[in-house]
Structure 1
Amino acid sequence: MKTVSPYSLVPLNPAAMMDVWKLGVMAFELWSTSVSTITLRQSLWQTQPPTSARMLRENRRMVTEKFEAGLETGFEIQKAMLQMAFGQSSPWWDTGLRAMTPYHRRSSANSLRLSRRR
């Protein structure tokens, strides 16, 4: 029986180290844009009537985007688990990048969009 050696917890080549660096940068950007988006949405909630068309659109968009990002992340995790079940695995930094990408993309876009809006 052939044993598959798992990836090490520490990246051993420069390309893998760069992926770990990208994951760290992505995590920091996700954190900072999430804080910005939360702050901008709270200021909207404080200045707009809750039943205005603008607020209803923004709230609907917020919920829809979170749901879609959660589904995409869930699919990536499910894909990684199925690969592990069939003996194919990828390193944690690749899986982390793929799992965080939907939230990162939406959070960055929302922060930019809400900061432009006056």
Structure 2
Amino acid sequence: MKHATPTALIPMSPFAMMDAWKVGMMALELWTSSLSTINHRNQLWQTQPFFSPKMMKENQRMVTEKLEASMEAGFAMQKTLLNMLSGQHAPWWVTSRQAMQPYHQRSRANSRRLSR
């Protein structure tokens, strides 16, 4: 019976270390852009009436984007799970980047858009 070699929990090659570093940087960027977006939206909610068309559109956009990002991240995790069941294993630094990518893209875009 052929046994699969387990992948290391700690990246050992320079390329794997760089990928793990990119995951950390992506998480940091996601954190900072999320805080910025939350701050900008709180300012909007405090300065404009909630029933104005601009605020209704912004609130609708916020919910839609969060649902889309969570669905994309869920699909990435499902793909990873199915790959694991078929014998293909990707290390944590690859799967975490794939799962964070939808949130990261939308958070950065919102932070840039709302800061104008």
Map residues 36-47 of structure 1 onto 2, 5 A cutoff: 36-47=36-47
Residues 1:96 and 2:96 are matched in the alignment: yes
> What is the Cα deviation at residue 6 of structure 1?
1.5
Q: CA RMSD in A?
A: 0.4
> What is the Cα deviation at residue 2 of structure 1?
0.4
Distance 2:6 2:49 in 1: 55
In structure 1, give the amino acid aligned to 2:88: Q
Map residues 1-118 of structure 1 onto 2, 5 A cutoff: 1-116=1-116
Q: Which runs of 5+ in 2 are unaligned?
A: none
Give the 3-state SS of the residue equivalent to 2:60 in structure 1: helix
Distance 2:54 2:102 in 1: 24
Deviation string for 1:21-70 (max 9, x for gaps)?
A: 00000000000000000000000000000000000000000000000000
Distance 1:20 1:102 in 2: 18
Deviation string for 1:62-106 (max 9, x for gaps)?
A: 000000000000000000000111111101000000000000000
TM-score between the two structures when normalised by the length of structure 1: 0.97
TM-score between the two structures when normalised by the length of structure 2: 0.99
Q: Name the % identity.
A: 59
Q: Which runs of 5+ in 1 are unaligned?
A: none
Runs (4+) of structure 1 exceeding 3 A deviation are none
